[in-house]
């Protein structure tokens, strides 16, 4: 379908997507995602695609969610795909909240959330790459009490009743308010 770079659909954004044209592609997904398009990521890039909220989010709770599907192949140790919540457009973003999947190198692609650092809290038994072409729903809730965001909860394939208790949670100063 084309490149993600410069696409400008949706509301609540300060501008268009900035995306690495060698690592991102807008494609028709195998599963209908009520928009009939998805982003395919390949290769390695700390900043494959990014976009800024408009205006910057200022609430105490931010829900995020996305669908993810491992298409084929095996991820190597420390390969991951994450949604980073940061104000910088470059760098490795390890000091900011992020949520996604991370491979341990043995074929396990675990769902995680973290407010900072390179560790995180992982959803138990969340090997979403064990069966390719299965679409999973990842939901996160970033919250703050006091000055900075300090807790990131994550759910994998939740139902409405599951939202009372997250599958995993990580606490730590996210460095952003």
- pLDDT tops 60 at residue 112: yes
In 3D space, the residue among 60, 59, 81 whose CA is nearest the CA of residue 69 turns out to be 81
> How far is C-alpha 56 from the geometric centre of its chain's CA atoms?
18
- pLDDT tops 60 at residue 1: no
Label residue 95 by pLDDT band (50, 70, 90): confident
What's the CA gap between 106 and 122, in Å, rounded? 16
What's the CA gap between 143 and 126, in Å, rounded? 23
- pLDDT tops 70 at residue 44: yes
Query: Tell me, what's the pLDDT at 107?
Result: 59
Label residue 151 by pLDDT band (50, 70, 90): very high
The answer to whether the CB of 27 falls within 8 A of the CB of 35 is: no
What's the CA gap between 53 and 62, in Å, rounded? 12
Break the chain into its structural domains and give their ranges: 1-56, 57-171
For residues 69 and 132, the model is more confident at: 69
* Three-state secondary structure call for residue 164: helix
| pTM (predicted TM-score) | 0.87
Label residue 131 by pLDDT band (50, 70, 90): low
Query: Tell me, what's the pLDDT at 73?
Result: 66
| Cβ neighbours of residue 133 closer than 8 Å, sequence gap 6 or more | 30, 69, 70, 71, 72
- Could you tell me which residues are beta bridge partners of residue 39? 26
């Amino acid at each position: 379908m084309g490149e993600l770079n410069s696409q400008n659909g949706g509301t609540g954004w300060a501008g268009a997507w900035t995306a690495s044209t060698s690592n991102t592609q807008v494609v028709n997904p195998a599963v209908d995602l009520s928009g009939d398009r998805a982003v395919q990521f390949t290769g390695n890039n700390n900043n494959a695609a990014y976009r800024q909220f408009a205006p910057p989010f200022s609430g105490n709770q931010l829900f995020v969610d996305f669908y993810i599907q491992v298409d084929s192949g095996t991820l190597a140790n420390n390969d991951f795909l994450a949604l980073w919540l940061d104000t910088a457009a470059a760098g490795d973003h390890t000091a900011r909240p992020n949520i996604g999947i991370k491979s341990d190198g043995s074929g396990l692609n675990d769902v995680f959330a973290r407010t900072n650092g390179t560790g995180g809290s992982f959803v138990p038994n969340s090997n979403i790459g064990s069966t390719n072409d299965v679409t999973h729903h990842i939901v996160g809730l970033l919250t703050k009490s006091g000055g900075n965001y300090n807790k990131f909860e994550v759910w994998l394939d939740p139902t409405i009743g599951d939202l009372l208790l997250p599958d995993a949670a990580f606490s730590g100063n996210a460095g952003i308010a």
